[in-house]
Amino acid sequence: MMENLPSDHSPLKIQPLGFQNEALYCDGRWEPTKIPHILRATSQFSGSLQAQWGRLSSTSSLRGRPSQNTSSHSSIRHEKVHRRISRTSQEEVIEGTFLPTAGSEEQCVANWLNKITHVLQVFSPTTVSNRVTMHSRTTNPPCFWISETSRQPVQDSLMPWKPDLILQEKLP
């Protein structure tokens, strides 16, 4: 089966992919707002971070703006942040280290994969899959991605295990 998969240099491309008026894939990249930091294409970092910080600034949760992204694809981000010194009109520049909330990146990826799965359902054959016919085709895909196991170990075996994401079959 693997030998039939196209290589990195294959001309095979996908058309822009969308889900309920949301763009998932376009211009040769997965939409950066739908995927976590670690999955974003390199050139998407600056723009997406600026957008995130724009939203943060608008809610006044942090009075400041990042001036430079110094990290690569790591989940841990080190950025210079300008902030106003309280009771003065002066600004200072500090080095900020930003950690994602535990499980937030896995949850984001699970949501992203489930949206892709919903899109793919349209293209799935109606008669071939016994899983699709066992579950109603008019409702949802027969399985879904969950990320809760990234925080809570699965105890359903002799050894506990913590996969980042699980593809779970829906029980009829």
Partner 1 sequence: MFSWEVVSFMELTSSSYSQSDSASNIQNAIMRKAYAVFTSQPGWWFLFVLSITNQEFRIHMFDHSGVVLSRPYNIHQSPCILLCMLSMLTFGNFGHVGYNPTFLPQYLTSWTTAMIQVESTAYDIIDQIFFNFLIRGWGTSCWHVRHKNKDYMIKDAWTHESHVNCKRDILTKIWGLKGVPQLISAWTVEIGGVDDQTDTCCSSLSCSSDIQIHCPLLMQPVEIPLSDFSSIHELLSILINILDSK
Per CB under 8 A, residues contacting partner 1 are 1-3, 5-8, 10, 12-14, 17, 25, 28-30, 38-39, 41, 72-75, 105-106, 109, 113, 116-117, 120-121, 123-125, 128-132, 134, 141-143, 145, 149, 154, 156-161, 163-169, 171-172
**By the 8 A CB rule, do 103 and 147 touch?**
yes
Which residues lie closer than 8 Å to 54 by C-beta, 6 or more apart? Answer: none
The nearest distance, CB 141 to partner 1, in angstroms, is: 5
- Per DSSP, the three-state class of 69 is strand
- Per DSSP, the three-state class of 77 is strand
Amino acid at 131: R
Task: Return the number of the residue (66 or 105) whose C-beta is nearest partner 1.
Answer: 105
Task: Return the number of the residue (20 or 90) whose C-beta is nearest partner 1.
Answer: 20
Task: Return the number of the residue (65 or 143) whose C-beta is nearest partner 1.
Answer: 143
Give the other-Cβ count within 10 Å of 115's Cβ: 19
Pairing state between β 22-26 and 77-84: unpaired
Please name the helix (run of DSSP H) or strand (run of DSSP E) that holds residue 64, with its range, or none.
Answer: strand 64-69
The nearest distance, CB 26 to partner 1, in angstroms, is: 11
**By the 8 A CB rule, do 79 and 96 touch?**
yes
CA distance 142 to 140: 6
The nearest distance, CB 91 to partner 1, in angstroms, is: 31
